Structure 1
Amino acid sequence: MRLRYPAPMHEEDDDSALFRAAVGKVDPLRIDATPPPAKPRPRPAVRREAEPSGPGGMAGLLAESPDAVLLRGDASAFRRERVNARDWQRLRRGQFSAQDELDLHGANALEAELLVARFLGESRDAGFGCVRIVHGKGGADGVPVLKNLVDRLLRQRGEVLAFHSAPPAQGGTGALLVLLSRR
């Protein structure tokens, strides 16, 4: 069935009339004098790398405060007490060769969590000492979701001795070099 419209008297009048007929009766918007409350924005986390805290070793601000977040350019860093200063410096400079890599681009948080757990288990079983995890720098409002997720996950894993953001040539703050304990 085809809809038929009456022939317009004037082209401009016809468009306006059709629009008014399609929309129907409308009520004007009420304008309140008070604006809506602003959404809270996360504050940048202050990262510390040189202070030992508790039995877990070098716990950064993320481990101390669940509300703290890393922003796009922030470096991720974590070190257990049993990692010596020389190895920590080598890791920070990117002087360890990554023996395997996991790229999380395109993964959602749940997929990333499963992929990281499987990757770390397989890497440790294979006897790898250092691996790279690429989480990317993207996220909503400058807060990279996967970066913060991976940072928190790695701190909880017993086989992770230390991790640090990769040097710029290896992914910078969008990737991590991870030292693993031997089996």
Structure 2
Amino acid sequence: MHDDDFDLFRQEMKGVKRIKTKERVEPPKPAVPEPALIHRRQMAVQVRQGDDNHLTEEIIDLVHPLDILEYRTDGVSHGVFRKLKRGQYPIDARLDLHRKSMAEARAEVFGFVADCLKYDVRSAMILHGKGERGEPKAFLKSCVNTWLKQMPEVLAFHSAQKHHGGVGALYVLLRKSESKKAENRERFMKGRTE
């Protein structure tokens, strides 16, 4: 830098004072952990032996209480899914999860789907509630949304029509049981030989 440039710089900077910086303050962490964190810690401590239930106990992505839930596997046609969405399949079984803890609901969903397959139920309903008053909001609804996607027996689901519970319930389409598959094969083969 030339002396002229330096003198010019000093003239321009005349009267400028260095800014005093304060030490950075970290915001205090909440004294009470969030319910999701508490649950995750409890689940990490628990070790279950002999539990065939493969549904996750981890915290899942939360959905909004008024969200419409929908899911379908690749094998489900648009027509079948549309019929499910409209509530046009007979509801052969219902599961009500209101006022259940996460652990109770997890066990009941797993057992309910197993029973549906055992008794050849193809379409069912799960009432999980909206969860508008819970903390975190829509927690059970979020759990059911996650669990059903983890079950290969579930082909599709959609939030129910208003008269069946709306966004607080789900229509669930289940795959055929092995006995129904065998029955259909026999019927198909019999029709081909005649």
TM-score range for the pair, normalised by the shorter chain length:
0.5 to 0.7
Displacement of 1:137 after TM fit?
1.1
Contact 1:162 1:180 in 2 (8 A): yes
Contact 2:159 2:167 in 1 (8 A): yes
**Partner of 1:177 in structure 2?**
171
Larger relative contact order, structure 1 or 2 (CA cutoff 8 Å, min sep 6): 2
Contact 1:75 1:165 in 2 (8 A): yes
Displacement of 1:92 after TM fit?
1.1
Judging by fraction of residues, say which structure has more helix: 2
Within-5 A mapping of 1:47-126: 68-126=61-119
Is 2:151 aligned against 1:157?
A: yes
Aligned residue for 1:87, secondary structure, equals: helix
Is 2:122 aligned against 1:129?
A: yes
CA distance in structure 2 between the aligned counterparts of 1:156 and 1:114, rounded to whole angstroms: 14
User: After TM superposition, what 4+ stretches of structure 1 lie above 6 angstroms from structure 2?
Assistant: 37-40
Structure 2: any 5+ residue segments left out of the alignment? 1-24, 35-58, 178-194
TM-score normalized by structure 1?
A: 0.63
Displacement of 1:131 after TM fit?
0.3
CA distance in structure 2 between the aligned counterparts of 1:182 and 1:100, rounded to whole angstroms: 15
Displacement of 1:141 after TM fit?
5.1
TM-score normalized by structure 2?
A: 0.59
Aligned residue for 2:149, secondary structure, equals: helix
Structure 1: any 5+ residue segments left out of the alignment? 1-32, 41-65
Contact 1:71 1:142 in 2 (8 A): no
Identical pairs, percent: 34
Displacement of 1:68 after TM fit?
3.5
Displacement of 1:167 after TM fit?
0.5
**Higher Cα Rg, which structure:** 2
Contact 1:159 1:181 in 2 (8 A): yes
CA distance in structure 1 between the aligned counterparts of 2:68 and 2:83, rounded to whole angstroms: 16
Query: How many matched pairs?
Result: 126
